[in-house]
Chain A
């Protein structure tokens, strides 16, 4: 459905996209994950033909994407990072206006607008101006303006930034519902939990390059980490830290401010072995956590830096 090949975009000496390659299939919820400045928004802007790029090609729905390809634009819905609605218009008028940029028939548009209002749960606020809406409701309006015309492709650029958890969950459920209704979703975020929750396939971007692409399971299988054990309130000597490092399947140990973080390869009973060692040595300890690998671990292992650095 979307093919991006060798896309290069430079801002002077800064390379924002460095030979980016992506293939997005119909019906996917495709996540673009990466830290701020990794090139997610630039990639989106290039896809929408809002930015000229230096090299490469973008094909959407089998056609080359150009600024004047309104046939393709007709099939795309966009939800931008910053809320982009008119303060002077009411909720209903805003959705109607943006839907009107794609759908000319008045009756059909009316129906679509009403469906969009219902979809985002803004029925009570149709006559309210955006200035009087809370942050979460405003984000929902922003989404309604982008999806009202029922596009085949919906691009959401960090739609949950600065949103309360309740609204965030509602937005994420809504995105999954749109996907169930047949839209292909491209979702950018630097929140790995969100991407893990809703995306069927994920591309991890860093410095304008796609460093890993796959399902979340595929991505996690790419790395060594199988389990991360964290133990708080533990006092260890350097010799004891070395001993922990020597335990079976342990490949990384961090000890800082009485917190021990142990990374193990995929194996069973890692936690039991570690606790057994501490008991043997009569070392007291506080809370204990065991986590399966996250996308942050994937990013950390591939790039050597944390996702939110």
Chain B
């Protein structure tokens, strides 16, 4: 295990550099996560609109209609005064004004006449009120066709209740992405950046001058040298993974430990770790010669930022176009982010979801294995070029 020990000694000598990179990229990750979390709005929110009613009818049916609206919105009465109406809308004292015509029942239920509406231009909440008014008038039409008297109809409409929706909230985050979900989402960026820089610097020590020649002329096979190098990379990877996960536990504490999907979060990050290590080893083998640091910076930035933008680390997968997703499927980070999204959305691990999560993790492992094969092939190819 001489080669392995040599790697570890060189890694030890580069420890300050490693901790510096870890610190920088950890800070960037937490910063990204904080900004993203601040912009995260709830997925489900009841909307209560300030509705004003100009009641020209004043009858029992008109009164029932206003009671119906009061279940959802703040309803107040308003005089029929065009200037007043404009002023109220301008100052947003009201967002939606509905005029109930005289002879409301005959005109609107029997005659199918539409209610006169005035609202704030571009207001999306008006759409909800429109739907609720249409629903009320439609039900009134149904009851009328069924032969109910006006009193019976008012009674029946009064009994109408808003639909009840029950949401399962397995993660206990009320539909929001948990903070640790954001942290895990940015892990590919952290792993790829740190490992590429660390392994790039460490491997460059082995590529300097005539060192590859001396190594190849030695009694240790090229295959064994590569395997011991990969093992050393795995050791440093395990160490860095431990630090990152420990940081997550310290940052998110019980919120994270209480998550039923914790084991899968960890498993997914481990798969990503293997991919990152293989990518970084490959980068380290390619980068060398003069201006090594500049070349490394260029490759790492293109690789990490490119993959992270394409695969849903910086931009959520659900806002990406189909063609981008099709391309991203050929990159391992996509599968990591997909699994992370499943875990965030369906923390409970239903049977079929578990299968999809394991499939995503499996695909990452296949990517890692393929990259390791490329590393070994490249090492063999380089051997013939000295």
Contacts and interface: CB of A to CB of B under 8 A. Distances in A.
Given A50-B386, A52-B384, A74-B219, A89 B10 contact: yes
Given A67-B383, A89-B10, A50 B213 contact: yes
A88 B219 contact: no
Contacts of B217: 48-50, 73, 76, 78
A88 B14 contact: yes
A84 B205 CA distance: 10
B369 interface: no
Nearest to B216: A50
Interface stretch (B1-9, B146-154, B258-266, B306-314): B1-9
Interface in B163-191: none
A52 B215 CA distance: 17
Nearest to A109: B2
A97 B6 contact: yes
Contact of B221 (A45, A68, A83, A89): A68
B210 interface: yes
B239 to A, nearest CB: 18
Given A52-B384, A78-B217, A101-B220, A83 B209 contact: yes
B218 A102 contact: yes
Contact of B209 (A84, A93, A97, A102): A84
A104 B220 CA distance: 11
Contacts of A102: 218-219
SS class of chain A's interface: helix, strand, loop or mixed?
loop
Interface in A58-114: 67-68, 70, 73-74, 76, 78, 80-89, 93, 97-98, 100-102, 104
A93 B7 CA distance: 12
B82 interface: no
Nearest to B222: A67
Interface in B181-237: 205, 208-211, 213-222
A80 B209 CA distance: 10
A307 interface: no
B110 interface: no
Contacts of B222: 67
Given A84-B210, A86-B6, A73 B386 contact: no
Assign chain A's interface to a size class. 20 to 34
Contacts of B70: none
Interface in A22-64: 45, 48-52
Contacts of A98: 214, 218
A145 interface: yes
SS class of chain B's interface: helix, strand, loop or mixed?
helix
B13 interface: yes
Contact of A73 (B208, B219, B384): B219
Contact of B9 (A78, A82, A89, A101): A89
A16 B348 CA distance: 69
Contact of A51 (B2, B10, B386): B386
Contact of B213 (A76, A84, A145): A84
A88 B9 contact: yes
Most buried by B among A80, A83, A87, A101: A101
Contacts of B14: 88
Nearest to B220: A101
Given A51-B386, A100-B2, A100-B5, A86 B210 contact: no
Contacts of B216: 48, 50, 67
A290 to B, nearest CB: 42
A87 to B, nearest CB: 7
11 contacts: A67-B222, A67-B383, A84-B208, A84-B211, A84-B214, A87-B208, A89-B6, A89-B13, A97-B2, A97-B9, A104-B2
Interface of B: 2-3, 5-6, 9-10, 13-14, 205, 208-211, 213-222, 383-384, 386
Interface of A: 45, 48-52, 67-68, 70, 73-74, 76, 78, 80-89, 93, 97-98, 100-102, 104, 145-146
Given A73-B219, A88-B14, A89-B13, 12 more contacts: A50-B216, A67-B216, A67-B222, A70-B219, A74-B219, A84-B209, A84-B214, A86-B6, A86-B211, A88-B205, A101-B219, A102-B218
